[in-house]
């Protein structure tokens, strides 16, 4: 199926590894041009060696002025923006008991603030192209996890903003949706597994709770969902939360 993404310009935050990296690869494979916005210079390695159509932009996403500046740089480079994929963020374990009010507020900014910053500065350009926004959420915002109040609050805000922006941007024909992963096989997830005395046993215990095929979701499966929501193949879809998690969030995890 042709997703009609060729030569369109997409901004991907946090594109250096994991889900963001997979999104960049999928979009470039579809012929899109990609602007990677990340704080890590290693992000340039994200793009495939053949047929590169993207460019890396280094920015501190926790800073509103930095987000404004990087969006200006993207427009100077590409001339347009057809879609924004808000992806950057990390589970920082700022809990109710273990954290502090200051750390909680910082977590909100680190994990949700830049979603607003980037969307705000991209909006004038998205109006011109009738572009799209896809926000990457987390199943923790609907299931809870424990000891991660800041991250969960931020991800809950992201889901609410997805619905709010979908309504606000209706007059401009800008669609806004969210993709919600659960347990995804990324380098960050692998690092978490290694924190246990028996990583393989921990992986087995998690995998058996995922109803569909009892395995972790692949980053590419998240990326495929993002590409679909960016494309005109989902032209009448907005304000939706798409769970790509093998049924982890909504199906009975006792199913074998």
- List, by residue range, all CATH 3.40.50.720 domains of the chain: 9-182+218-244
Tens of pLDDT, residue by residue over 104-127, are 999 999 999 999 999 999 999 999
Contact 204, 236 (CB under 8 A): no
Residue 53, pLDDT > 80, answer no
Q: With bands split at pLDDT 50, 70 and 90, how would you rate the model's confidence at 50?
A: very low
The pTM of this model reads 0.95
Return the structure tokens found at 187.
């380098």
Total Cβ atoms within 10 A of residue 107: 25
Average pLDDT, the chain: 93
Please report the pLDDT score of residue 47 as a whole number. Answer: 59
Measured CA to CA, the distance from residue 111 to residue 4 in angstroms comes to 31
In our burial notation (b when 16+ CB lie closer than 10 A, e otherwise), range 37-67 reads bbbeeebbebbeeeeebbebbebebbebebb
∠ at Cα 173 (162, 109), nearest 5°? 30
Please report the pLDDT score of residue 248 as a whole number. Answer: 96
Catalytic residue among 10, 115, 121, 151: 151
Residue 42, pLDDT > 70, answer no
- In percent, how much of the chain has pLDDT > 70? 95
Q: Does residue 189 carry a catalytic annotation?
A: no
Contacts of 123 (CB under 8 A, 6+ apart): 169, 174
Q: Which residue has the higher pLDDT, 43 or 137?
A: 137
- In percent, how much of the chain has pLDDT > 90? 86
Residue corresponding to tokens 């374990």: 93
Please tell me the class of the 9-182+218-244 domain.
Answer: alpha beta
Contact 225, 244 (CB under 8 A): yes
The mean pLDDT of 145-174, rounded to a whole number, is 97
Measured CA to CA, the distance from residue 106 to residue 254 in angstroms comes to 37
Looking at the DSSP assignment, which residues form a beta bridge with residue 56? 36
The mean pLDDT of 4-17, rounded to a whole number, is 94
């Amino acid at each position: 199926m042709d997703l009609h993404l060729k030569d369109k310009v997409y901004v991907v935050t946090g594109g250096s590894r994991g889900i963001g990296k997979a999104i960049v690869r999928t979009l470039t494979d579809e012929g899109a041009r990609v602007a990677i916005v990340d704080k890590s210079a290693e992000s340039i390695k994200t793009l495939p060696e053949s047929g590169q159509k993207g460019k890396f932009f280094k920015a501190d996403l926790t800073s509103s002025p930095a987000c404004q500046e990087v969006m200006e740089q993207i427009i100077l480079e590409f001339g347009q923006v057809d879609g924004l994929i808000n992806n950057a963020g990390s589970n920082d374990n700022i809990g109710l008991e273990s954290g502090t009010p200051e750390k909680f507020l910082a977590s909100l900014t680190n994990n949700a603030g830049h979603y607003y910053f980037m969307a705000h500065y991209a909006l004038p350009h998205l109006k011109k192209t009738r572009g799209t926004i896809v926000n990457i959420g987390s199943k923790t915002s609907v299931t809870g996890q424990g000891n991660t109040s800041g991250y969960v609050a931020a991800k809950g805000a992201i889901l609410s903003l997805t619905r709010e922006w979908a309504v606000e941007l209706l007059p401009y024909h800008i669609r806004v949706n969210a993709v919600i992963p659960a347990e995804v096989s990324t380098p960050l997830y692998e690092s978490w597994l290694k924190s246990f005395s028996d990583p393989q046993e921990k992986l087995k215990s998690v995998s058996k709770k995922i109803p569909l095929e009892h395995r972790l979701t692949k980053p590419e499966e998240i990326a495929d969902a993002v590409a679909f929501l960016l494309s005109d193949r989902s032209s009448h879809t907005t304000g939706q939360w798409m769970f790509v998690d093998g049924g982890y969030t909504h199906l009975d995890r006792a199913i074998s």
